[in-house]
Amino acid sequence: MTHTTVPRPEYPRPQWVRPDWINLNGSWQFEIDHARSGKERGYPEIGHQLSGTITVPFCPESKLSGVEYKDFMAGVWYKREFTVPESWNGRTLLHFGAVDYETEVWVNGVSIGTHRGGYTPFSFDISPQMTRARM
């Protein structure tokens, strides 16, 4: 299943509305990593393509995700390219509403942090990576 529009396009945290923001819901590259060896195989590197797609914000088990994989997954990878507008010269946060269970986030091939705990929101300040990308 492929969505032609962004699913769940509304601002995710109405009490924290900002004038400038990007919703990253929609189609992402996706790969199930049964051996948990994606780092060693170069998955986080710029230019490496994952083998499938998934519709975010839906979990891989759901039909709406387009994956609908219901067996155990030791690890999964999501990948998406996006452009931060040049006018954003302040702090840029990458916010996740929930990820189950252990997450490592990469921006421009650099690990920017980890989070552990299912179904809880978290954010990373990616401003330093954006500055490097603009140099």
Statement: residue 103 has pLDDT above 90: yes
Instruction: Phi first, then psi: give them for residue 17, nearest 5 degrees.
Output: -55, 135
CA dihedral 89, 90, 91, 94 (to 10 degrees): -40
Strand pairing partners for 113? 105
Global confidence as pTM: 0.87
97 Cβ neighbours under 8 A, 6+ residues apart: 12, 57, 121
Comparing CA positions, the residue from 126, 33, 124 lying closest to residue 77 is: 33
SS3 94: strand
> Confidence class of residue 4 from pLDDT cuts 50, 70 and 90?
low
Paired residues of 95 in beta bridges: 123
Instruction: For residue 125, name the pLDDT band (cuts at 50, 70, 90).
Output: very high
pLDDT > 90? residue 20: no
